[in-house]
Amino acid sequence: MNDHTLPSPAWTVSMRTRASSVSAAVALVVVALAFAVPFFATRAVLQDLFFILTMLVLAQGWNLLAGYAGLVSVGQQAFVGFGAYAMFAAVSLLGLDPLAGILIGGLAAAALAVPTAFFVFRLEGAYFAVGTWVIAEVVRLSLAQWKALGGGTGTSLPSGATRDMAGVRLVADWLGVRAAQATDIVCYWLALLLAVATVGLIYGLLRSRHGLGLAAVRDNREAARSIGVDPLRIKSFVYLVVALVTGLTGALIYVQKARISPDAAFSVPDWTAYVIFIVVIGGIGTIEGPIVGVVVFFVLRNLLADYGSWYLLILGLIGIVIMLFAPSGLWGLFANRTGIQLFPVRRILTGTHNAQTIKGVPHG
Amino acid sequence: MNWLDTIVQGVLLGGLYALFAAGLGLVFGIMRLVNLAHGDLIVLAAFLVLLLASALGLSPFVAAALAPPAMVAFGWGLQFVVLNRTLGKDILPPLLVTFGLSIVIQNGLLEGFSADSRRIPAGALETASLQFGPVSVGTMPLLTFLSAIGVIVALNLIFYHTDLGRAFRATSDDRATAGLMGIRADRIFATATGLAMMVVTIAALYLGTRANFDPTMGPARLIYAFEAVIIGGLGSFWGTLAGGIILGVSQTIGAAINPEWQILAGHVAFLLVLLARPRGLFPRAVD
């Protein structure tokens, strides 16, 4: 019965939308502008932007875990802290360059994710969440025993270590600034690089067949298995990649801070509560969400900076209200009204004979 | 070092952890909801008991007897108005809403009571102890342990010998079919959380009289409670007591070797059980 067969060349699968073509151009301009910021901005502005960029990377990582892979972790601080401690060990104990330390921090966090995954992947759903938290506590308590890095009270980077970091002198001479400011500039550029690379990596992953597999596993695990997607394998891969990115970020943050303690490096509010808030308010399960969320978060932080614990209380309440009444977040509300997607990951079937399009469900 | 003493103290500490865990396990067993604010609710109840005891000049036990109505009403309302909306196939809403609630309670308490550590005064009981042969046992830890057993006996009676318990089990097994029999799941869930808050208040009494507490210590209590539930195995209250005891004994043994290892030893014991018996030692529920 050939009557029902459609002429095959007439249909193509496309992921591009008009908005995404515009947004690609806008993204290029934004990145170029962001790169140029150190040429005219003050140190305070740079440090704020550094904070925003690093939180964005952490949020994108958590969003990939929770929003796409269904792995709701409350223990990402394990990788922030472990990456930071590995960087400290590389710089303070081995005398390596902080830049090398950052790379070591990322690799160490990824290495930590292997035994960690072995434990937490035995747990499902909510149990996974608390399991990751227990692991983070174990790592924190273990590193607090490391006397060479200050034990429970922590330690600072050797004086001058960040000033001697690769590239700092170059930047200082080039821009005619002091070493301390040059350090901030280098850290900022590294954060920018990390943020762009992370968003690009996640975008690429979600558009690839692995992204399709991930969405399939999230939507229906059994059906996905039946067509040959291995849920455990794909989830482990995502977990490892996010650990690597989170470790790099943790190490970079602590190069800039230059002082570490177990309680700060493994802080649940700083590295998990804020991150979850950013993703939830922006819109979980979208790449745009964390970007919107981090901006809202930063504005709220500055508005409420003088109110101490009221700040976190209000953040918590906003998070609850959003989760209950607008679970797709601010970006979700916007995208549902306008249909705009800046980072489209859904496949759209377009036909050339008639202009009819068959739209898929989001991200799937 | 006296090993017998260490183990006895650990068993008694396990009673406290079982009290933390019973409420968490109860709620999870019935509605598959892991309440990440559970530890903070315990700390909230401890502040309520402290407030009642100090404002009215009452003994902590009388204050703890007055606190449950408020806590139960709070738990019922919380479940009925907020948490019921989050239940469903997606695990994200309940986790994120209770995580937000945890942050809200912690910071609300910080705002109301400051970060100072407090203790519920229990008078002479604080230091009283009983001598059993070579082992000296504090009266408060012993009371804690006996209360844990009492709570578990009571919960088992409710679960397996009352209409309410039958409704709990029916809703847990099959919400839709239970609904056909006239059981309203939303009310059953609210009642279960109310009941859990009663257990939480008892746990809070012993948390507050045994040692200092402050608004930020909720999450650690949640983790102990969670570990006790997992070690014991889902759906078994006696298993939860066993889980609490294993955790308590691991912690006291760890502390006896090196005081800095107390908490770590408990976590390691938990991970070892997870490795050997992922479903816990005495699993009952199939989940």
In a domain? residue A347: no
Q: Please check whether residue A346 is in contact with residue A362, taking contact to mean a CB–CB distance below 8 angstroms.
A: yes
User: Distance (Å, rounded) from C-alpha A342 to C-alpha A27?
Assistant: 10
Residue B286 predicted with pLDDT over 70: no
In a domain? residue A223: yes
User: Distance (Å, rounded) from C-alpha A286 to C-alpha A279?
Assistant: 9
State which residues form the domain around A241. 33-267
Identify the band that residue B192 occupies on the pLDDT scale cut at 50, 70 and 90.
very high
Say how many residues make up chain B.
Answer: 287
pLDDT digit string (tens) for A216-242? 888 888 888 888 888 888 999 999 999
> Looking at the 3D structure of chain A, how many domains does it have?
1
Is B265 part of the contact surface with chain A (CB cutoff 8 Å)?
no
pLDDT digit string (tens) for A294-351? 999 999 988 988 887 888 899 999 999 999 999 899 999 988 888 887 887 777 777 6
pLDDT at A363: 52
Residue A202 predicted with pLDDT over 70: yes
In a domain? residue A300: no
Q: Please check whether residue A345 is in contact with residue A211, taking contact to mean a CB–CB distance below 8 angstroms.
A: yes
pLDDT at A362: 52
Optimal mutation site among B96, B260, B268, interface A, most CBs of chain A within 10 A: B96
Query: What pTM does this model have?
Result: 0.89
Number of CB pairs, chain A paired with chain B, less than 8 A apart? 119
Q: For chain B, give the mean pLDDT.
A: 91
Residue type (1 letter), B86: T
Three-class secondary structure assignment of B166-229? HHHHHHHHCHHHHHHCCCCHHHHHHHHHHHHHHHHHHHHHHHHHHCCECHHHHHHHHHHHHHHH
- Are A130 and B91 within 8 A, CB to CB? no
Identify the band that residue B216 occupies on the pLDDT scale cut at 50, 70 and 90.
very high
pLDDT digit string (tens) for A50-61? 999 999 999 999
High-pLDDT (> 70) share of chain A, %:
93
pLDDT at A8: 53
Element (H, E) at B131: strand B129-132
pLDDT digit string (tens) for A133-144? 999 999 999 999
Tell me the mean pLDDT in the region A277-300.
94
pLDDT at A237: 93
Show residues of chain A in contact with B36, CB under 8 Å.
Answer: 74, 129-130
In a domain? residue A280: no
In a domain? residue A331: no
Residue of A nearest to B93 (CA): A323
In a domain? residue A318: no
Tell me the mean pLDDT in the region A113-140.
90
pLDDT at A5: 52
- Are A324 and B97 within 8 A, CB to CB? yes
So what's the ipTM on this one? Answer: 0.88
- Are B99 and A276 within 8 A, CB to CB? yes
- Are A66 and B92 within 8 A, CB to CB? yes
pLDDT at A364: 45
In a domain? residue A83: yes
* Of the listed ranges A11-20, A146-155, A192-201, the one predicted with least confidence: A11-20
pLDDT digit string (tens) for A153-201? 889 998 888 888 888 888 888 888 888 889 999 999 999 999 999 999 9
Residue type (1 letter), B198: M
User: Distance (Å, rounded) from C-alpha A272 to C-alpha B96?
Assistant: 11
Residue type (1 letter), A294: V
Give bridge partners of residue B213 from the DSSP assignment. Answer: B118
- Are B275 and A72 within 8 A, CB to CB? no
Show residues of chain A in contact with B96, CB under 8 Å.
Answer: 72, 276, 280, 319, 323
Optimal mutation site among A134, A278, A310, A318, interface B, most CBs of chain B within 10 A: A134
- Are B111 and A310 within 8 A, CB to CB? yes
In a domain? residue A20: no
Three-class secondary structure assignment of B61-102? HHHHHHHHHHHHHHHHHHHHHHHHHHCCCCCHHHHHHHHHHH
Element (H, E) at A234: helix A231-257
In angstroms, the Cα distances linking A167 to A89, B199, B264 are 21, 59, 41
Show residues of chain B in contact with A323, CB under 8 Å.
Answer: 86, 92-93, 96-97, 100
User: Distance (Å, rounded) from C-alpha A162 to C-alpha A97?
Assistant: 8
- Are A74 and B36 within 8 A, CB to CB? yes
Residue B86 predicted with pLDDT over 50: yes
Contacts of B39 (CB under 8 A, 6+ apart): B20, B102, B217, B218, B219, B220, B221, B222, B223, B225
Residue A6 predicted with pLDDT over 60: no
pLDDT at B211: 86
Contacts of A20 (CB under 8 A, 6+ apart): A341, A342, A343, A344
pLDDT at B15: 95
For A224, how many CA atoms within 13 A lie in the half-sphere containing its CB?
22
Identify the band that residue B244 occupies on the pLDDT scale cut at 50, 70 and 90.
very high
User: Distance (Å, rounded) from C-alpha A62 to C-alpha A278?
Assistant: 10
- Are B263 and A125 within 8 A, CB to CB? no
User: Distance (Å, rounded) from C-alpha A172 to C-alpha A179?
Assistant: 6
Q: Please check whether residue B48 is in contact with residue B113, taking contact to mean a CB–CB distance below 8 angstroms.
A: no
Most confident of A121-125, A146-150, B193-197, B260-264: B193-197
Q: Which residue has the tokens 């004994």?
A: B249
pLDDT at B1: 55
pLDDT at A356: 47
